Structure 1
Amino acid sequence: MEQRQLGRTGLRVSHLGLGTLTWSRDTDEHEASEQLRDFVDAGGTLVDTSASYAEGGAEELLGSLLDRMVPRDDVVLCTKAGVRRTPSGGVVDASRGGLLRTLDASLRRLGTDHVDLWLVQTPDPRTPLTETVSALRIAVTSGRAQYVGLSNHAGWQVARAATLLGEDVGLAAVEAEYSLLQRGIEREVLPAAAEMGVGVLAWSPLGRGVLTGKYRRTIPADSRAASPHLAGFVEPYLGAESLSVVEAVATAAAGLDRTPLDVALAWLRVRTQVTSAIVGARTAAQLRGSLAAEDVVLPPEILHALDEVSAPELGYPERR
């Protein structure tokens, strides 16, 4: 699997990353261990998790597999902080104290003294960005994280954080949703990342599973859209506005004798600014489908057609 440089850092990661959103909840230990083994055997290195996934359960499961299934040094371990669980539900907390406490808890669950990449999961409107960035600096200078970044932040926040961190620490990455069904980061996040030398990690490159075509006719009983805790995650892409994109992907796949999944990942692979696309599979069989898409090359005319049908709406000031 191709290894790509993350922004202007010396860190290299596989162009497909392994997501763990479903681990310890919908994906049990057996399936998780198969996923991790198959991913590393295919040359994958980037494993993405978060303290908020299954309330820490995903990190704990991943930590139990490291060194037992694959050597810790064979993976680039990325986790996130900034969303914590309270009795009344999830709370965004990107304060310095909240972030560093979460990081320490993540390290205990993962069974390691450092993560390779640590991200702030979402903006916190109650905490100044300067304070959030100070936690990123402390994580690096204390050795708990080798590289740091942001997730789901706006373009101006990416640029501001990169400026505050300077060249000595540096902002390594921004992780954001990016697929044929969600191209919003092309307006400001991608230009900001390019200007500041920040790598881009794309989560949900399959449009929360919708680009696989599984929802074209109905909602499968074993799918995320039928799951009580993930139905709301998929629902935004089940409307009529997504249908034309999904059908275009299915038509291209039929013409190439490939699957819609293959086409969706191949479209993203040629977006040169994207360092890695993070695929989150519920089962090992689903992950193997993504790993098998490595050899797909889309003809220019298909790339152009997909670009057209999925183009995001632009207005002032991006387009005049």
Structure 2
Amino acid sequence: MHQRPLGRSGLAVSRLALGTMTWGRDTDPDDAADQLKIFLEAGGTLLDTADVYGDGDAESVIGSLLDHLVPRDEVVIATKAGLTPHRYRPRDGSRGNLLRSLDASLRRLGTDYVDLWQVHGYDAQTPFEETLAALDHAVASGRVRYVGVSNFAAWQTARAATWQTAHPGRAPIVAAQMEYSLLERGIEREILPSAAALGFGVLAWSPLGRGVLTGKYRNGRPLDSRAASEHMAPFVRTYLEPRSSSIVEAVVTAASGLGVSPLEVALAWIRDRPGVAAPVLGARTAGQLEGALRSEHLTLPAEIAFALDDVSAIEVGYPERDGASHPHSYYG
């Protein structure tokens, strides 16, 4: 698998990442082991997780697998902190909470450092400087190699990236993990131009439109799908609407013409978008992961990529349209 630098950092990552959101919950340790073996054999290196995935169980599963499947220094572990189960404060970017969460993640992962540590969401109740100082402390202590943010608005991401480069010794923001797919192209308005200007890479979560771009929902909701799952149905329902259906049909048509699966087409499109370091694959089974990894060998013909750009184009108005110096680089 091809490796890419994460933004303008020295951290190299595989251009497909293995997501673990379902590990320890919908994906048991044996199935997770099968996924990891397949991913490693394909040349993958980047494992994405978070302290809240499976209430910490996803990190524990990764830690158990690192014991015997792969040497620690042959994988890039990216985890996150800052979300909480508390209704009164669902995001907590305070220094105390972030550093406690990091120590707990390290214990579960069975390692003394993580390669990429990301703040999982913007916390308006904590001074911005306090949150970012926690990232600096984590890097200075050796527990973290690189830092990033996730699900921040564009102005928040740009502010963090700028603040971190304003003074020598601060840890630069090298990654922003955001939802991005043919069904959700909102980050093209400001996040992607910011990434190009400020030097961070984008990790795209849900690159298959929460599973909808596989085409599995064209004729209903399979009983074994996320849309039929009690806790995942609201997550998928967002994209079960007419606009999404037209995009899915375009992907299916392209896949048929190329002799590949819709999943491969959707992943190849997102993988090669400007500013994207890696899409994060969220497979539930080893079979699903094998299908996704086949996209590594597919490069979309320009005319197909342009057609998909067109059918999924988002409306861009003032001020993004007038303020973009090179709009066609991002808006298709």
User: Structures share a fold, TM > 0.5?
Assistant: yes
Task: Tell me which amino acid in the other structure corresponds to 2:33.
Answer: S
- Aligned twin of 1:12: 12
**2 CA distance for matches of 1:241 and 1:271?**
21
- Aligned twin of 1:105: 104
- Aligned twin of 1:57: 57
Please give the residue correspondences for 1:197-236 in structure 2 after superposition, counting only pairs within 5 Å.
Answer: 197-236=199-238
- Aligned twin of 2:69: 69
Instruction: Report deviation, 1:272.
Output: 3.3
Instruction: Report deviation, 1:90.
Output: 7.7
Q: Does 1:84 pair with 2:74?
A: no
Q: 2:299 aligns to what SS in structure 1?
A: coil
**2 CA distance for matches of 1:248 and 1:189?**
26
Instruction: Report deviation, 1:184.
Output: 0.4
Deviations 1:182-226, CA, capped at 9 Å, x for gaps: 110000111111111111111111111100000111101011111
TM-score (norm 2): 0.93
**2 CA distance for matches of 1:278 and 1:258?**
20
- Aligned twin of 2:289: 287
Please give the residue correspondences for 1:161-180 in structure 2 after superposition, counting only pairs within 5 Å.
Answer: 161-166=160-165, 168=169, 169-180=171-182
- The 4+ residue runs of structure 1 with deviation greater than 4 A are none
**1 CA distance for matches of 2:243 and 2:142?**
46
Deviations 1:276-313, CA, capped at 9 Å, x for gaps: 11101000110010111211121111111100011111
Deviations 1:35-80, CA, capped at 9 Å, x for gaps: 0111011100000000011111111111111131221111100000
TM-score (norm 1): 0.97
Unaligned runs of 5+ in 2: 323-332
Q: 2:320 aligns to what SS in structure 1?
A: coil
Contact 1:55 1:85 in 2 (8 A): no
Instruction: Report deviation, 1:236.
Output: 0.4
**Alignment: residue pair count:** 319
Q: Does 1:246 pair with 2:248?
A: yes
Unaligned runs of 5+ in 1: none
- Aligned twin of 2:158: 159
Instruction: Report deviation, 1:319.
Output: 2.2
Task: Tell me which amino acid in the other structure corresponds to 2:47.
Answer: V
Tell me how large the CA RMSD over aligned residues is. 1.3
Q: 2:243 aligns to what SS in structure 1?
A: helix
Task: Tell me which amino acid in the other structure corresponds to 2:65.
Answer: L
Residue 190 of structure 1, aligned match among 192, 207, 210: 192
Contact 1:175 1:203 in 2 (8 A): yes
Identity within the alignment, %: 61
